[in-house]
Structure 1
Amino acid sequence: MGRINVDLTIGPQVASATALKSNSKICWMGVKMSGEGFKISSARRDAFEREGVPLDRMPRVFAGTDVSELRAWIFALDFFDFSEDEVKRNYPTVYDHLLTYVKPERDHNDREAYSEEWWRFVEPRPRLRASTRDLQRYIVTSETHTHPIFTFVESRQLIIDGSVIAVASDDAWILAVLSSRIHEFWALRAGGRQGAGDDPRYQNEMCFDPFPFPDPSDETLKFRIRDAAEKLDALRKDVLARHEDLTLTKLYNALEALRAAEAAAKVLSDKDRDVVGRGCVSLIRQYHEEIDAGVAEAYRWPADLSEEEILDRLVALNKERAAEEAKGKVRWLRPEFQAPTYVAPVEQAALALPQAEKPGIEILEWPRALPEQVVVVASVVARAEKPLGAGEIARAFRGKRAATVVPVLDALAGMGRVRKLQDGRYAA
């Protein structure tokens, strides 16, 4: 029972979140070719190379299955910025190949531009290319997936197809946030479903563009989270390089089996035990736990929030960030690319009083009886000029911590004496 949201869910209104400027211009779907003839084998690529075709015009095609399952080596003829005459004049054997294996299929395409420009991909994704051009690596995930896995790929001589979503960042901090349980809950709720298996879809417009990233001021924390993500990505790549029969899907299936076995106090099957051992799954799990704890700390949220609590806070934070951006403040994820000329608006700073003129802070004694505790805590909240967290309220009392005042605050909220906000703070 509850209020039905526009996406037919009940609970946090994730579908109401709006796209943020801070996330713009860096998350894209891969190219769409519309013509199997664009794809060539490694042997055919070698032959074209001997005839003078540059390797960067025959990049490896990276598909969604390459993220999670297979590691195929298929290449594509990519002349997205060439005219037909330029291809014919400079690379006649390539032109002949495209004329033979691509044009007949594209001649039947209903869209006129696609049939007329048959030697190019139907969706060459120029904005994707622009956003990844200066990066040695960037983040990818499969559009449809069993497990939401984000990983780095090397950008040199590689192109992603339409089954892959790219995030044009080489920063492991961004990889960590995307790999956290906080983002996983968001993506699973915000994205759609597809196929006979009802598999989740990661859609850039719905999952990435509105997602409010944390913006921590603690660079030490950010470094620690970034380090855990680098180690996680390197470990998974090392495991897959050493064991050709393992895939990321198998590793994460084994991780789920390990958690389930521990929760039920059962023994892993021989098959799962083998993958857990060879795949370093316990260490993968440890890195994820470090990332989850660090990202929660970056948001300044408790690490044990439920899925619904996380989604509520993300929806509220999205609205807060959208309001900031309307006033000109944008927390760009990759400012040097997204907005190289951006200048943050000047914020009005409070005038600092001389030390002698600063008002004294009254430290209160904590009452023994509950009725007095209720009265004095309510008065602290009522006198505050802004909402306060439990820790801030506790500092008004000698020697007390947040755990002491939270039960009283929650009781006051239940009585309607104070309001508990979505970010965990309290207001009169």
Structure 2
Amino acid sequence: MIYNSFAIAIATVETAKHRVFIFLDNDVVPDNKLIAIAFDDAYFLGILSSKIHVVWALAAGGWLGVGNDPVYVKTKCFDPFPFPDPTDTQKQTIRELGERLDSHRKRVQATHPEVTITGMYNLLEQLRQGEPLDDKDKAFNQKALVSTLKQIHDELDAAVFAAYGWEPTLTDDQILENLVTLNAQRAEEERNGHIRWLRPDYQNPGETYVQPTLEGITTETETAITPTEQQPFPKTLKEQLWAIRDLFRTQSGEWTAAQVTAHFKAASRKQKVILDCLESLEDLGILLSHTENGMTFWHLAEL
């Protein structure tokens, strides 16, 4: 994997003429006019810098000022944005292109401090529109290497379209339609308990993922133990802990988090709470756990 070892986050200016994402160096403290996104993986920089995300951000965000500059509203532009589900190869390609994009712009600005990001992207828009360049534009292009910037963006857009499984010839309206549909699908997945964590190690550490099985095919470790009559899931933490403790005391054997969840009514949205309860009961010495084939099982400590 390629990571930017000196970056602490991806940032974009809240209100700007062009929607550009860059890696912040670790000695930069973002102020309130920067939207900082806590990723140091260039894969995410690549997705956010792609045409697909920029089209979404322009449609979902706001507008401000005399120039009617777009505003990146995090709760509308980032939070509901449905990321693709790429293969490992596709993800690595996007990661490498994201790294190239960030490195190219910073290298140009280090060589020519007078070159601004706005200036680079102004000329990039001219090149994308096929507008003729005058001598001043050509001189700036030779110094800022905007033609190279365009090539990187073109390759990045193609890679991100491929990760979504979409044709790169889609119009902006078609892109938005596809993203809205995908957003609705992801919302339905989350209602059914399947959350696609962007940073699982941080957002949901210790989560046990149970791969859905094909109809008619089951495995012993993935079979949820569903009682004949599910019990209501308590509302307070204390009651939740004791309900799960009593479950283990009255039912023999080992349980996964998914199997514990299946015991309670309408608990599919509380998988994280149940996992926290299991870990708390283990901390209290009431339960013990072990991991086998990537799955975690709990049982009473006295057993």
TM-score when normalising by structure 2: 0.67
Please give the per-residue CA displacement for 1:165-219, whole angstroms capped at 9, x wherever unaligned.
Answer: 0110011111111000000110000000112221100011010000000011x21
Matched, 1:205 2:205: no
Give distance in 2, aligned partners of 1:205 and 1:258.
32
Matched, 1:317 2:186: no
Give distance in 1, aligned partners of 2:126 and 2:134.
9
Give distance in 2, aligned partners of 1:320 and 1:256.
33
Q: How does 1:83-102 map to 2 (within 5 A)?
A: none
How far off is 1:152 after superposition?
A: 0.4
Instruction: Please name the residue that 2:43 is paired with.
Output: 173
How far off is 1:158 after superposition?
A: 2.6
Please give the per-residue CA displacement for 1:323-374, whole angstroms capped at 9, x wherever unaligned.
Answer: 101111111111111111322345232346xxxxxxxxxxxxxxxxxxxxxx
Instruction: Please name the residue that 1:162 is paired with.
Output: 32
Considering Cα pairs closer than 8 Å and 6+ residues apart, tell me whether 1 or 2 has the greater RCO.
Answer: 1
Q: Secondary structure at the match of 1:148?
A: coil
Larger CA Rg, structure 1 vs 2: 1
Q: Secondary structure at the match of 2:189?
A: helix
1:149 pairs with 8, 20, 34, which one? 20
Give distance in 2, aligned partners of 1:269 and 1:135.
38
Q: How does 1:204-283 map to 2 (within 5 A)?
A: 204-216=74-86, 218-260=87-129, 262=130, 266=132, 268-283=133-148
Tell me, yes or no, if the aligned pair for 2:15 and 2:64 is still in contact at 8 Å: yes
Q: 1:150 to 1:275 in 2, by over 3 A?
A: same
Which residue identity does 1:238 align to in structure 2? R
Tell me, yes or no, if the aligned pair for 2:46 and 2:95 is still in contact at 8 Å: yes
Which residue identity does 2:38 align to in structure 1? A
Tell me, yes or no, if the aligned pair for 1:144 and 1:200 is still in contact at 8 Å: yes
Tell me, yes or no, if the aligned pair for 1:255 and 1:276 is still in contact at 8 Å: no
Which residue identity does 1:251 align to in structure 2? M
Instruction: Please name the residue that 1:70 is paired with.
Output: none
Query: Number of residues paired by the alignment?
Result: 214
Matched, 1:334 2:166: no
Tell me, yes or no, if the aligned pair for 1:137 and 1:169 is still in contact at 8 Å: yes
Q: Secondary structure at the match of 2:29?
A: strand
1:306 pairs with 165, 168, 171, which one? 171
Instruction: Please name the residue that 2:10 is paired with.
Output: 139
Give distance in 2, aligned partners of 1:338 and 1:277.
44
Q: How does 1:24-173 map to 2 (within 5 A)?
A: 136-155=7-26, 157-173=27-43
Which residue identity does 1:293 align to in structure 2? A
Over the matched positions of the two proteins, sequence identity in percent amounts to 45
Tell me, yes or no, if the aligned pair for 1:328 and 1:344 is still in contact at 8 Å: no
Matched, 1:183 2:60: no
Tell me, yes or no, if the aligned pair for 1:180 and 1:288 is still in contact at 8 Å: yes
Give distance in 1, aligned partners of 2:156 and 2:182.
20
After TM superposition, the runs of 4+ consecutive aligned structure 1 residues lying more than 3 A away are: none
Tell me, yes or no, if the aligned pair for 1:225 and 1:290 is still in contact at 8 Å: no
Unaligned runs of 5+ in 1: 1-133, 353-428
Q: Secondary structure at the match of 1:153?
A: strand
Give distance in 2, aligned partners of 1:299 and 1:226.
15
How far off is 1:255 after superposition?
A: 1.1
Matched, 1:288 2:145: no
Please give the per-residue CA displacement for 1:263-300, whole angstroms capped at 9, x wherever unaligned.
Answer: x5x3x112211121111111111110111001001000
Please give the per-residue CA displacement for 1:352-398, whole angstroms capped at 9, x wherever unaligned.
Answer: 6xxxxxxxxxxxxxxxxxxxxxxxxxxxxxxxxxxxxxxxxxxxxxx
Tell me, yes or no, if the aligned pair for 2:7 and 2:23 is still in contact at 8 Å: no
Give distance in 1, aligned partners of 2:84 and 2:140.
34
Please give the per-residue CA displacement for 1:74-99, whole angstroms capped at 9, x wherever unaligned.
Answer: xxxxxxxxxxxxxxxxxxxxxxxxxx
Which residue identity does 1:149 align to in structure 2? V
Q: Secondary structure at the match of 1:158?
A: coil
Q: Secondary structure at the match of 1:210?
A: coil
Tell me, yes or no, if the aligned pair for 1:142 and 1:163 is still in contact at 8 Å: yes
How far off is 1:254 after superposition?
A: 1.0
Unaligned runs of 5+ in 2: 218-303
Give distance in 1, aligned partners of 2:191 and 2:6.
30
How far off is 1:220 after superposition?
A: 1.2
Tell me, yes or no, if the aligned pair for 1:191 and 1:203 is still in contact at 8 Å: yes
